[in-house]
Amino acid sequence: MRHPVAAALRLIGWGWILIRHDALMPREITPLLPPWLRPLAGLLHLFSGKEACTGRPGERVGRALEKLGPAAIKLGQVLATRADIFGTQFALDLGRLKDRLPPFPLDQARIEIERALGRPVESLFADLQPAIAAASLAQAHAAHLHDGRKVAIKVLRPGVEGRVAKGLDALRLAARMAERFVAPARRLEPRAFVETIARSMELELDMRLEAAAASEMAEVMQKSESDGVVLMTAPEVVWDGVGKRVLTLEWATGMPMTGPACREQPGLDTDALADNVVRAFLIQALDHGTFHADLHEGNLFASAPARLVAVDFGIVGRLGKEERRYLAEILWGFLSRDYDRIARVHFEAGYVPPSHSVEAFAQALRAVGEPVIGKQASQVSMGRLLGQLFEITALFDMRLRPELILLQKTMVSVEGVARRLNPDHDLWAAARPVVERWIRRELGPQAQVRDALEEVVSGLRALSQRIRRDADDTAIAPVVVVPRASPWPMVLGLAALAMATAALVLSL
């Protein structure tokens, strides 16, 4: 933290803004609060300003988050995907935070583009149109290249780097205070959580890195197929139009999913589209270990019958081989109702401390899974489910895993998008073919033979290196008699290799 005093003052200012907008404990929810908390809410309402007297709760919260800056707006974008938890109207009111914030002037955007690219706008673009969408960090402009191609130019907001840095300082201070003074919050690892979010936002502020991520994700998405159909695509990067504060992509086809007109497109299959959002994300995460980590409606375009195009690759999540296996096994455990397996995976991954009972944890998982597996989204209360999950994680001393923060955040957003498309969407049915295929490929008989073969090859390689080192040592040692290496390790290794190869062939 660079300036702790300034961060403290900013944190106080944030609290005051939330109170003035009646966004900290909106008066509409006061009757739902615990009795001991209602007097405090009433006290806060006395200090609310004229902003609190106009608009619905979602509108007031949206205005407050907009004043708090980019970090708070990111939170609002996630909340806006969960109409099932916070209510449809609340989510719609927050939806403007995704891509309908006030833009900065076109002339200023032109200056930013020329400064970033080091050349006049006219040298690359035949035209430059006013902003078509504006979010927390950047805004997008439509333009045409001289060869006639339509493109989208993403330009960072002037001075946004400073606002992000100041906001992150305040969040770091809030995390330290929560960790020190709020004991139940410690297992949520608030400092690690903030640092993960901070790192992702810092990467978002370099458009060259986002261009590289967009190019990488486009390749990943082309390989992310289901039944021979590519589920999600990404626009091509126009590298001549890329600089530190400017990114140019070919125009995304389809209609933005933020507007109601998108779902009214003729021939649009919203059920298939909801399935494709879930499956595309899971294929990216499980098969490739690289996924778009900001999949809300503001970053998705749809066209009939169920085509998806993703934009805004400022945040990319990555999973190691072990994390991918844990994720797949946990999902498969729920799909097959194998709660003992899910419990064992949690203990193996270190998500649950070994002092607890595997059997007791499996019992708790059953209490979570049985009411929701196979149910349509409209039959499941996500608010109640999340509350139950929070209670169980506390009961078994589970702590937040920093390496899984982006994965968990994206899963929340993806499910929210699917529910908005189809209120009766069955998340588990959508996930089953992707998870089942991964389990069969990575943990089935063929995978076991393949792993055994890899171990044999690795052992032979290590043996070969050892023999070579022994030979080098013998060559330089002042010894007349050179010991003869035994041939048996090599013979046994080759035999094992032959057996593994034969087993692999027979299993195909």
pLDDT at 5 over 90: no
pLDDT tens, position by position, 114-165 = 999 999 999 999 999 999 989 889 999 999 999 999 999 999 999 999 999 9
Mean pLDDT score, 55-66: 88
DSSP label at residue 472: H
**166 contacts: CB under 8 Å, gap ≥ 6:** 6, 7, 10, 69
DSSP label at residue 301: E
Closest CA to 101 of 130, 51, 62: 62
Mean pLDDT score, 180-207: 85
Q: Residue 447 class from Cβ within 10 Å (0-12 exposed, 13-18 middle, 19+ buried)?
A: middle
pLDDT tens, position by position, 394-413 = 889 888 787 788 888 888 88
Backbone angles phi, psi at 229, to 5 degrees: -110, 130
pLDDT band at 105 (very low <50, low <70, confident <90, very high): very high
pLDDT at 308 over 70: yes
DSSP label at residue 250: E
Instruction: Determine contact, residues 272/278, Cβ cutoff 8 Å.
Output: no
Kind of pairing between the strands at 150-156 and 138-145: antiparallel
Q: Which helix (H) or strand (E) holds 309?
A: strand 307-310
Beta bridge partners of 246: 155, 243
pLDDT band at 480 (very low <50, low <70, confident <90, very high): very low
Q: Residue 472 class from Cβ within 10 Å (0-12 exposed, 13-18 middle, 19+ buried)?
A: exposed
Report the C-alpha gap between 434 and 332 in whole angstroms.
Answer: 10
Report the C-alpha gap between 299 and 236 in whole angstroms.
Answer: 15
Q: Which residue has the tokens 């008066």?
A: 27
pLDDT band at 91 (very low <50, low <70, confident <90, very high): confident
The predicted pLDDT at position 374 comes to 74
Q: Which residue has the tokens 């494709």?
A: 276
Sign of torsion over alpha carbons 346, 348, 352, 358: positive
DSSP label at residue 422: -
Least confident of 328-332, 453-457, 476-480: 476-480
pLDDT at 190 over 80: yes
The predicted pLDDT at position 487 comes to 52
pLDDT band at 451 (very low <50, low <70, confident <90, very high): low
The predicted pLDDT at position 28 comes to 84
pLDDT at 508 over 50: no
pTM of the model: 0.78
Instruction: Determine contact, residues 86/108, Cβ cutoff 8 Å.
Output: no
422: tokens are: 């189809």
The predicted pLDDT at position 504 comes to 45
Residues in the chain: 508
DSSP per residue over 131-186, as a string? Answer: EEEE-SSEEEEEEEETTS-EEEEEEEPTTHHHHHHHHHHHHHHHHHHHHHH-GGGG
In the chain, the percentage of residues whose pLDDT exceeds 70 is: 86
Q: For residue 147, what are the CA distances in angstroms to 39, 119, 124, 238, 240?
A: 65, 18, 10, 12, 13
pLDDT tens, position by position, 7-20 = 899 889 988 998 99
Instruction: Determine contact, residues 23/94, Cβ cutoff 8 Å.
Output: no
Mean pLDDT (the chain) is: 84
The predicted pLDDT at position 507 comes to 43
pLDDT tens, position by position, 338-376 = 999 999 999 999 999 999 999 999 999 998 888 887 777
pLDDT band at 505 (very low <50, low <70, confident <90, very high): very low
Beta bridge partners of 301: 256, 309
Long-range interactions of 381-390: CB distance < 8 A, separation 24+: 381/84, 382/82, 382/84, 382/85, 383/84, 383/85, 386/85
pLDDT band at 447 (very low <50, low <70, confident <90, very high): low
Neighbouring C-beta atoms of residue 267, cutoff 10 Å? 8
Instruction: Determine contact, residues 84/416, Cβ cutoff 8 Å.
Output: yes
pLDDT tens, position by position, 259-295 = 788 988 999 999 999 999 999 999 999 999 999 998 9
Give the three-class secondary structure for 409.
Answer: helix
Better pLDDT: 80 or 471: 80
Instruction: Determine contact, residues 226/337, Cβ cutoff 8 Å.
Output: no
Sign of torsion over alpha carbons 111, 112, 115, 116: negative
The predicted pLDDT at position 458 comes to 66
Q: Tell me which residues are annotated as active site.
A: 294
**75 contacts: CB under 8 Å, gap ≥ 6:** 65
The predicted pLDDT at position 383 comes to 63
The predicted pLDDT at position 2 comes to 65
The predicted pLDDT at position 476 comes to 58
